[in-house]
Amino acid sequence: MSVTKAVLAVKDSITFTLNEADLTGKKVGEELKTLARDVPCTNGPQWWIRYYPAGGVEDSKAHLSVFLMVNKTISSRFSFKVQDSSIETDMYAFNLTESVQCGCTKFASHEALRPLFVDGKLLITCDVEFDVSVPFTFLSPRLAQHCGHVPTDFQLIVGSNQLQVHKSLLSLVSPVFHAMFSHDTDESRSGEVKIKDFDFDTVQTTIDFCYGKEMETPSVETVISMLRFADKYDIKVVTNLLKPIPRQSLSNETFHTVVHYADKCCDDELFEDCCDLFFENQSDIVATEKFKMLPPPTVTRLLKDTFDLETQFDVIRHAHANGMDFILAFLEQPIINLTPSATLSSMPGTARETI
């Protein structure tokens, strides 16, 4: 039996700046290029734009030449467009290879481009859609595109905002909502529920994800907020798909968000990964402003687990020696409270100064 070949169309774009000075400052055939980008949903293929401000060949002199480049064979549909103008072209490339540049040798003449420059600069965007081979499961239908004929019958109230949804969807994805609708509850009778502890954007993004709506790639902060919402309402379709993302996105820049989530949600494996990163990059992470926003109990646990610190005094020493003074008051207070007043009065200073 032959195997089905599933193909998914994935979109991406690159915007680059054309400098007016390059129209005359560059020679014919002198190329510029953008940084390479990974083709979405793939492992290996990359694409970028190669362009010639003075023209790629003599025949295209005094024209801008633009080309789509790839490092592996792939089919694509793409367009080049000059911002705030009618200059645009659409193209299709079947099995474009790394040895071929596909585009326009005479995309736009210098004469047509010059009036469009602002402060000597002009933005040009390439929108591209690649045909990517994927597992068959990737082709599962997007529910949001096919349920418009059924009116919504429930609303989620978040502050002053309302989100219209289908009861049936909430029941399918969430045992918590299903139980709510299966009994004579206030929510079931009123057709609405007030969502607390989450902002409207988090709730809307999570519900849009359940509907299968097309979405921009969310930030790590957004994904973690979605995971918290999904955890509260037991929406496993969200938690199962998104749970790997915080670990995959762990870096010095995202450390604050990920370690706080790992600690608060008792994800010990993820917290251990945070400890490993902190061990290797302590000084860089501590220097970030966001690190100072972490709750002191989280930082205390982080220091104990990362450096095998046993006592409160050990943690105080380490924090003071490594620029984490913002947690010292939290660490010292229990020691001060437990210290007899006579002993405390004989101390030359704070607990920090005596260690």
CB 29 within 8 A of CB 61: no
d(CA 301, CA 308): 10
Pick 41 or 321 by higher pLDDT: 321
Q: Is the Cα dihedral 245, 248, 252, 255 positive or negative?
A: positive
Residues pairing with 8 in the sheet: 132
Locate CATH 2.60.210.10 in the chain. 6-139
Residues pairing with 123 in the sheet: 17
How large is the average pLDDT for residues 252-271? 95
Locate CATH 3.30.710.10 in the chain. 143-242
Give residue-wise pLDDT tens across range 65-88. 999 999 999 999 999 999 999 999
Alpha carbon 355 to chain centroid, angstroms: 43
Give residue-wise pLDDT tens across range 168-190. 999 999 999 999 999 999 999 99
Residue 350: what pLDDT?
Answer: 42
Q: Say if residue 272's pLDDT is above 60.
A: yes
Report the 10 Å Cβ neighbour count for 342.
7
Q: Say if residue 283's pLDDT is above 60.
A: yes
How large is the average pLDDT for residues 136-147? 69
Per CATH, the number for 143-242 is 3.30.710.10
Domain at 6-139, CATH from 2.40.440.10, 3.30.1330.40, 3.20.10.10, 2.60.210.10: 2.60.210.10
Q: Say if residue 62's pLDDT is above 70.
A: yes
H or E element in which residue 14 lies? strand 6-19
| Structure-token pair, residue 343 | 């002993």
| Residue whose pair of structure tokens reads 């190329």 in the numeric block | 31
d(CA 56, CA 107): 11
Q: Whole-number mean pLDDT of the chain? A: 89
Return the percentage of the chain with pLDDT > 70, whole number: 91
Residue 337: what pLDDT?
Answer: 66
Alpha carbon 116 to chain centroid, angstroms: 34
Whole-model pTM over 0.75:
no
| Residue whose pair of structure tokens reads 């973690």 in the numeric block | 224
How large is the average pLDDT for residues 132-140? 70
Give residue-wise pLDDT tens across range 304-316. 999 999 998 999 9
In sequence order, what are the residues at sequence separation of 6 or more whose Cβ sits closer than 8 angstroms to the Cβ of residue 122? 17, 18, 20, 82, 83, 113, 116
Helix (H, G, I), strand (E, B) or coil at 79: strand
d(CA 134, CA 109): 40
Residue 93: what pLDDT?
Answer: 86
Residue 9: what pLDDT?
Answer: 87
Number of alpha carbons in the 13 Å side-chain half-sphere of residue 172: 10
Which one-letter DSSP state was computed for residue 143? G
H or E element in which residue 327 lies? none
Distance (Å) of CA 190 to CA 156, 164, 252:
11, 14, 46
How large is the average pLDDT for residues 280-303? 95
Alpha carbon 78 to chain centroid, angstroms: 24
